[in-house]
Amino acid sequence: MRILVISDIHANLTALEAVLADAAGFNYQAVWCLGDLVGYGPQPNACVDRVSALPGLVCLVGNHDKAVLGEIDIATFNHDARAAIEWTRAELSAGHRDYLKSLQPQACSGDFTLVHGSPRRPLWEYILDPDVARDNFACFSTRYCLFGHTHVPIIYHQPGASGLCPDSAPQFGQAQALSVERLMINPGSVGQPRDGRPEACYALVDTAASTWEHRRAAYDIARTQTEMRTAGLPDRLITRLAVGW
């Protein structure tokens, strides 16, 4: 099966459309979305519509989605994120809220565990270093884990005899073998990349060929920024899109 893996769309419809156009040639049969459909960006309703209609969808809920629903205290978010969550609450229709409410933060499909944050704490934990990744290898039983939340594309490899958990940077546009080695893979963020590159980021998985691939899709960043300004979203959230941080 060929699977499109997307995460952290954050209501950036222009970035999402660019990813879907870029991935179209892959003829994917399923889509795994690792959560945070909304928050930060200007098009929450349209992004929920677009994602929920994708084929073979497994869609997780993220911490921003939960905050918009009022299921997480927004005091735990920074000032700009809080402002975006409050704006999104006012913008999101009742039907779109109901859709987000129906989602879980964790799922399993074949050899893959899917989480928003981490297997240990699916909604909250950030896997940002090899130590946290190493601890999380003990918290899922499948061969592979796909996670989001950090907005940074990366691959963590199964800890070796030394107990160290090596990581490697993605090689964009090059299919990699899914070996017997256990892996934790972050596909990166569609709508707000934070790895120093502004293009939308995502991944492809082919279970028949046993491969995965990180990819980038350039999109009209200025268009999203204009929509954010019109919506009155915080300036820092607007400017960071141009630099991928």
| Contact window for Zn ion (CB under 5 A) among 16-24, 36-44, 169-177, 208-216 | 36-44
State the maximum Cα–Cα separation within the chain, in Å, rounded to a whole number.
54
* Strands (E) located in 92-226: 106-109, 112-115, 144-147, 154-157, 167-168, 176-177, 183-186, 200-206, 211-217
Q: Which residues of 198-230 are buried (b: 16+ CB within 10 A; e: fewer)?
A: bbbbbbbbbbeeeebbbbbbebebeebbebbee
One character per residue 133-172, x = contact with Zn ion (rule: CB under 5 A): ----------------------------------------
- From the list 179, 64, 183, 50, the residue with the least C-alpha distance to 113 is 183
Report if residue 36 touches Zn ion, rule: CB under 5 A: yes
- Total number of residues that touch Zn ion (CB under 5 A): 2
Q: Which is nearer to Zn ion, 69 or 178 (CB)?
A: 69
Report if residue 125 touches Zn ion, rule: CB under 5 A: no
Least Å distance, CB 64 to Zn ion, is 6
Least Å distance, CB 174 to Zn ion, is 25
| Contact window for Zn ion (CB under 5 A) among 30-38, 70-78, 124-132, 177-185 | 30-38
| Contact window for Zn ion (CB under 5 A) among 2-10, 93-101, 124-132, 234-242 | 2-10
The residues that touch Zn ion, with contacts defined as CB under 5 A, are 8, 36
